[in-house]
Chain A
Amino acid sequence: MHAKAPRKAHMPVATANSGAKGNGICLRLYVASTTPNSERAKANLDAALQDFSVAPGYRVELIDVLADAKRAVTDNVIVTPTLVAIGPKQRLVMIGDLSDSNKLQGLLKAAASFS
């Protein structure tokens, strides 16, 4: 279950719950340990969340599927890295190392408007 818990070591900024209340939005990033794609994704998400000034109360989860393979099965992780934004009703999926910052910003904006 350690993977479910936010890892401060890897993602110091993003893991901080920016909003005190939060709107129930969860950002889940599935990675494969420290493979290049995964490392890049972590860094890119980190940077985007820092830039994203209107960041609401995201809850960020980092899941290492190599360490927690069961989670990979239950969540049906196909590619790494995968970023899933989970709202109360909606769900957005983004794959890749998140190097396309425009797309990532778009996802975060869309997630922010989750109700």
Chain B
Amino acid sequence: MKKSAKRLPELRRVCNRGRTPKHHPIRKKPTGIAGFDQITDGGLPVGRLTAVIGGPGMGKSLFALQTLVNRLRTAGEPGLFVTFEEPVDRVRSNVAGLDWAFDSIPENQLALIDARLPADTIQAGAFDVSGLLAALTARKAAMGACNVVFDGIDLLIGSLNDEYLERRELARIDDWIRAEGMTAILTVKSYSMSERDQKRADLIQYLTDCVIRLEGKLFDANFSRTLRVVKYRGSNFAPDAVPLAIGHSGIEVVPNQISRDNYPVFSERISSGVPRLDAILDGGFMRGSSILLSGAPGTAKTSLAASLAAASCARGRKAAFVSFDESDVQIVANMKSIGIDLGRHVACGRLAMMSLRSNGHSPEECFLKICDLVRRHKPDILVVDPLSAFMETAYPFAAVIAESLVDLAKSKGITFLGTSLLGQADGEIEASAIHVSTIADTWIHVSYVVQSGERNRALTIVKSRGTGHSNQVRELALTGKGIDLVDVYVGDGKVLLGSARLEKQQLETRDVKLEEVQRARRKFELGRGIAELQARSQAIAQELASKRREAQLEDSAEKVRSMARRNAITQRGLSRRLADDSRVHPRHKKQRASR
């Protein structure tokens, strides 16, 4: 009684709204469901009615109860949970499997109130909910409760089966909430069984200040849950349906609002574990960047991803490796065969591996699991192999979730590597991959090149933001010692890989050798020719010299001879003169006579 007297001025203010010029903007309280608080920009309206509408099994009660538990745990606000459909012990057992430790909450902090009418209750005329509200007022006063949930109220007021009466009872609840200053959640089933049911759901939407719709839909065989804020009086909100997942922590909402700002920026380079790849990437991947690794099956995407993780762990960093449809044991064993030892890093706790199934888990569920892993392990590197496991499903939020994942990593400064299964042809790239590629900073594509009866892996860097990088195709070679990149043969307008490249290279070396030999031979022959000529020229010179000598000798002989002749003549002349004097030779006489 005292309390209501104290509240009187407040009530008057509400009633005489026209006379009080001051209107306060709507206040909100967070539900503790992070994604929901984000899309509503703060949570539920304080002191007002919120309706959670949805079909069976959509998580209406869970949403409401989770909000109560979160308000109690985070803000110390006691709450009332009034259940019109389920017995209290069933409500308890429903949440016993969650990590809430619900049983540890004392009854005076969170009261579960069974408001089911006894099964054999006979209805004889119109009724109202004053009795319930009186009981709630008493409990509220005793506990200091701030929040109240009416779970399945439509079941109770629906039995009035009269639009006017139903409207009156809803208005009564609304009045009570405002008077008591309570923040309330009504959960309402949405079904189109009868016109009346539909009308009631509509009516509740009009009467309440905030309407949240929980929906589920089958896409092929995949069930996808969504949450949508239908209306929110006095506040802006994101009106799109966002994915919702129910996990072991209860409801989680994945808002598809991606901020794309305030990302930490690093200039540090992170080695890919393949030195040649680092070299063509100008030193490695940029820390905190996102990398998309696309390629056909078997193009060593996982190996490259494992290489990055292993290299980071070896440098003392932490990495998380999320794989779809391949167990971590299998991956560790496979990588060991190409010289990448992941097991060592798992053993020392630097590498956290998680295997998820893409079947049976919605992308949002997988996303939340990865979020949880990131929260627990705090990795520097996050690998999701393949990221396209999200894409292949018929779930409507696959692309959004993939984007959210990249966003999550970026916001925490984690280097992200996602692999994507792509078709053969380079140019033929699926639309969904393009979606991711726009948010990926570096995109590496590995394709098969089929040549002369061989498949070889060709690696290209499609793009690399903020990094100089080679535009050349490299051949990716898997060896027992790890991954290596090999320059491909480029020439004659052809790109050759594998044995074709080897063959071509061998052919080239043979040609070079042959040429060398020929050159040597030519050189040798030339040398020999020169030597011969030299020898010949020597011989000629010698001959020349000897001829000269001979000529000289001849000359001297001539001289000698002529001298001798002269001498002889002189002698003969002398003697003739002598003979003339004495006896003249007949011939000489003749000669003398002819002269």
Q: Could you list which residues of chain A lie within 8 angstroms of chain B, going by C-beta atoms?
A: 30, 32, 35, 37-38, 40-41, 44, 65-66, 69-70, 72-73, 76-82, 91-100, 103-104, 106-107
Binary interface encoding of chain B residues 128-157 relative to chain A, with 1 for a CB under 8 A from any of its CBs, else 0: 111110110111000000000000000010
Asked if B127 and A97 make an inter-chain contact with CB atoms under 8 angstroms apart, the answer reads yes
A79 engages B132 (CB within 8 Å)? yes
Chain A residues whose C-beta falls within 8 Å of the C-beta of B134 in the assembled complex: 32, 65-66, 69, 72, 77, 80
Q: Given contacts A76-B114, A77-B134, A78-B132, are A93 and B125 in contact (CB under 8 A)?
A: no
Q: How far is the CB of B78 from chain A (nearest CB, A)?
A: 15
Contact assessment for B131 and A98 in the assembled complex, using a CB-CB cutoff below 8 Å: no
Residues of B within 8 A of A41 (CB): 125
Q: Tell me how many residues of B have a C-beta within 8 Å of chain A.
A: 25
Query: Which residue of the partner chain B has the closest CB to A102?
Result: B124
Q: With A78-B156, A107-B122 given, is the CB distance from A95 to B130 under 8 Å? A: no
* Interchain CB contact under 8 A, A103 and B131: no
What is the CA–CA distance of A40 and B126 in the complex, to the nearest angstrom? 10
Q: Let me know if B137 and A77 touch, CB within 8 A.
A: no
- Inter-chain contact A72/B124, CB cutoff 8 Å: no
B129 close to A79 (CB less than 8 A): yes
Bound complex: CA A80 to CA B126 (Å): 9
Measured between alpha carbons, how far is A73 from B113 in the docked complex, in Å? 9
List 29 A-B residue pairs with CB atoms under 8 Å apart, sorted by A's residue number: A32-B130, A35-B130, A37-B126, A37-B127, A37-B128, A41-B125, A65-B135, A73-B139, A76-B135, A77-B132, A78-B116, A78-B131, A79-B130, A80-B128, A80-B130, A80-B131, A91-B118, A94-B122, A95-B122, A95-B123, A96-B123, A97-B126, A98-B125, A99-B126, A103-B122, A103-B124, A104-B124, A107-B122, A107-B124
Among the listed A65, A69, A100, which residue makes an inter-chain contact with B124, where contact means beta carbons less than 8 Å apart?
A: A100
CB distance from B144 to the nearest CB of A (A): 15
> Which of chain B's residues have a CB closer than 8 A to the CB of A79?
117, 127-132, 156
Using A65-B135, A97-B126, A103-B122 as known contacts, list a sample of 7 further A-B pairs with CB atoms less than 8 Å apart, ordered by residue number in A. A35-B128, A37-B127, A37-B128, A66-B134, A69-B137, A69-B138, A78-B132
Within the complex, the shortest CB–CB distance from A94 to chain B, in Å, comes to 5
Report if A92-B131 is in contact (Cβ < 8 Å); known contacts: A69-B137, A79-B156: no
Chain B residues with Cβ under 8 A from A72's Cβ? 131-132, 134-135, 138
Nearest CB of chain B from residue A109's CB, rounded to whole Å: 12
Q: Do the beta carbons of B156 and A40 come within 8 Å of each other?
A: no
Distance of B53 from chain A, by nearest CB (Å): 22
In the assembled complex, the Cα of A37 lies from the Cα of B131 at a distance in Å of 12
Across the two chains, which residue of chain B brings its CB closest to A44? B125
B120 CB within 8 Å of chain A: yes
Q: Could you tell me if A65 and B125 are in contact, using CB atoms closer than 8 angstroms?
A: no
Q: Is B291 an interface residue (CB 8 A)?
A: no
Chain A residues within 8 Å of B594, by CB: none
Task: Report B148 CB to chain A, min CB distance, Å.
Answer: 14
List the B side residues contacting A69 at CB < 8 Å: 134-135, 137-138
Residues of A within 8 Å of B120, CB to CB, are: 92-93
Provide the bound-state CA to CA distance between A38 and B120, in Å. 21
In the complex, B121 has a CB within 8 A of chain A: yes
Q: Is the CB of B122 within 8 A of A81?
A: no
Q: Are B121 and A95 in contact (CB under 8 A)?
A: yes
- Tell me, in angstroms, the Cα distance from A106 to B116 when the chains sit together: 23
Interface presence of B115 (CB below 8 A) = yes
Q: How far is the CB of A98 from chain B (nearest CB, A)?
A: 5
Let me know if A81 and B127 touch, CB within 8 A: yes
In the bound complex, do residue B128 and residue A73 qualify as a contact, i.e. CB atoms below 8 Å apart?
no
Q: In the complex the two chains form, is B138's CB within 8 Å of A73's CB?
A: yes
Q: Are A95 and B124 in contact (CB under 8 A)?
A: yes
Give Cα A98–Cα B120 distance, bound, in whole angstroms. Answer: 16
Select B135's contact among A77, A81, A103, A104, beta carbons within 8 Å. Answer: A77
Closest to B115 in A: A78
CA distance A69 to B131 in the complex (A): 8
Known: A69-B134, A78-B156, A80-B130. A93 touches B124 (CB 8 A): no
A112 to chain B, nearest CB (A): 16
Bound state CA distance, A32 and B17, in angstroms? 28
Q: Could you say which residues of chain B place their CB within 8 Å of the CB of A92?
A: 120, 122
